[in-house]
Amino acid sequence: MTNLNSNTTSFHNNIDLNPVKSAFDDSQTISKLGRVHFIGIGGAGMSVLAEMLHEEGVSVSGCDREANDHTQRLEELGIEVEIGQSASHVEHADVLVYSSAIKPSNPEIMAAHERGIKLVHRSDILALLLSAKTGVTVAGAHGKTTTSSLLSHILTVAAAGDLADPSYAIGGSIQAADGTVLDGGHAGNGIVMVAEADESDGSFEKYSPSIAIVTNAEADHLDHYGSSERYREAFVEHVSHAINNVIICAEDEGARKVLEAMPDNILNKTIAYGNLDTWSMKVSSRVQKLAVFASIEHENEQAVSGREMFTLVLPEKILDEHAKCSNKVQVSLLIPGLHNALNASAAIVAAVLLGMNPEDAARSAESFRG
């Protein structure tokens, strides 16, 4: 007698859901995707990808365990959303998108595999979307959400022209200048897309952003990487794909090790940031020669207001288009702490590299509420 449970187990054991392996080659474009189905479409990270594909004219559907604000918004946009999971949901799909939380035994995964439907990790879709925009990724064990939210806030509040109304895919909600809670995902009309780059499963190595930000490289996710050395090697690989610039926090010991491991051609387009007094003597002469530095000065938290105050000294190299601007900008944040001064510094540097006036970028950061 056939053991159905054994056969099912054997079947899904043959399904390879490897988040690091790229599902697409360089010829893949958004317009060639066909009908795309998302498992877990109601998640903050998945819903924005679904919405952006929908806005690009892609036929999108999805499912989730329960309805929420994200699924409601997607349905209002005309995207078909099913509650619950069933093999029948993928019947007309050409591509099925999953996250690292989804297992091979998922009924929709199994049905898609049996029918020859292409299985792609969410990072594959994010990589496609980033390649269609001026992409900015933010990676690091801490500070990803704050830094990506800050940059999105700066662009939303103060950017003009094609920099205005950025797209962003952030792992949490953010607050507008007036305190209104905004969704962490937005499909904007501008040319910029800001996204958190999840290093937990190695999938961030797929991205080729215009700008790659690294907030720190404190050893984490060793269940996946096996050692802190392999973890940092993944960061070196990630930043090596940045097209224009790398922005990295040199306050962090792990990030400094990433800096030291970068090849010369990557260091040449790197801006390191932090308190110059604390780390300038901790990096090699090669790093000091090839990279440029944005330094935090006079950092302090105001006793009465609680505001985080500091001066950000920008490298002259990134101010070519703003020759009349001072390379020193005063920053006043509602969110206190040196860690937030560091996050804001990365966001302001990125905004300037994208083409914003430094003073405008710093001023718009002042209304960020976290």
Question: Inter-axis angle of helices 358-365 and 338-354, to 10 degrees?
Answer: 140
Range of the domain at 84: 30-122
How do residues 303-361 score in pLDDT, each as one tens digit?
Answer: 667 789 999 999 988 886 655 678 899 999 999 999 999 999 999 999 999 999 999 99
Q: How confident is the model at residue 11 (pLDDT cuts 50, 70, 90)?
A: very low
Residue 1: pLDDT above 50? Answer: no
The answer to whether residue 293 is domain-embedded is yes
The last residue of one of the domains, among 122, 153, 188, is 122
Q: Are residues 181 and 229 in the same domain?
A: yes
| Count of structural domains within the chain | 2
The answer to whether residue 307 is domain-embedded is yes
**Phi first, then psi: what are they for 335, rounded to 5°?**
-100, 115
Q: Minimum mean pLDDT among 120-129, 181-190, 357-366: which range?
A: 181-190
Q: Minimum mean pLDDT among 118-127, 183-192, 201-210: which range?
A: 183-192
How do residues 66-88 score in pLDDT, each as one tens digit?
Answer: 999 889 999 999 999 999 999 99
Q: Are residues 116 and 167 in the same domain?
A: no
Distant-in-sequence, close-in-space partners of 11: CB < 8 Å, separation ≥ 6: 110, 114
Which of the listed ranges 137-146, 167-176, 214-223 does the model predict with the highest average pLDDT?
137-146
Spatial distance between the Cα atoms of 83 and 41, rounded to a whole number of angstroms: 10
Q: Are residues 139 and 76 in the same domain?
A: no
Residue 2: pLDDT above 50? Answer: no
Radius of gyration of the chain (CA): 22
Average per-residue pLDDT for the chain: 89
Q: Are residues 145 and 288 in the same domain?
A: yes
The last residue of one of the domains, among 97, 122, 147, is 122
Q: Are residues 216 and 359 in the same domain?
A: yes
The answer to whether residue 183 is domain-embedded is yes
Q: Are residues 69 and 168 in the same domain?
A: no
SS3 145: helix
Report pTM: 0.90
163 with 188: CB under 8 angstroms?
Answer: no
